Amino acid sequence: MNNRVVSCDKCNQEFQIKPKTFKKKGIEETYFNCPECKEKYGVIVTDKTIRRKQKAIKELQIKIDKQKDPEIKKRLFSQFQKDKKEIETLVLFLKEKFRKNKG
């Protein structure tokens, strides 16, 4: 994500993404601004639950990599996919909620 050049939807200015993190009441928002018109672009919003799940899924990934038994590996992998989807849903939901709260 770093050093990626994007163009602003609002003013078409091209710029390099410099993500910033905003923390409030356990919620972390990563975003960047257009240097020209200051338009804000949200990248990701996480809360405690999401971060805990993200940590758990990373550990699960390591477990899968280490697992030799194909049956167990398969089972762990389907759990991994399920968890991943759940995190994605939570992130989307929180992002939506966050945007609404700010008006």
Stretch that binds Zn ion, among 6-14, 51-59, 76-84, 87-95 (CB under 5 A): 6-14
Show the CA angle centred on residue 48, arms to residues 89 and 51, nearest 5°.
Answer: 65
Answer yes or no whether residue 32 interacts with Zn ion by CB under 5 A.
no
Answer yes or no whether residue 97 interacts with Zn ion by CB under 5 A.
no
d(CA 14, CA 43): 17
Answer yes or no whether residue 17 interacts with Zn ion by CB under 5 A.
no
Check if the beta carbon of residue 22 is closer than 8 Å to that of residue 31. Answer: yes
Q: Which residues bind Zn ion (CB under 5 A)?
A: 8, 10-11, 13, 34, 36-37, 39
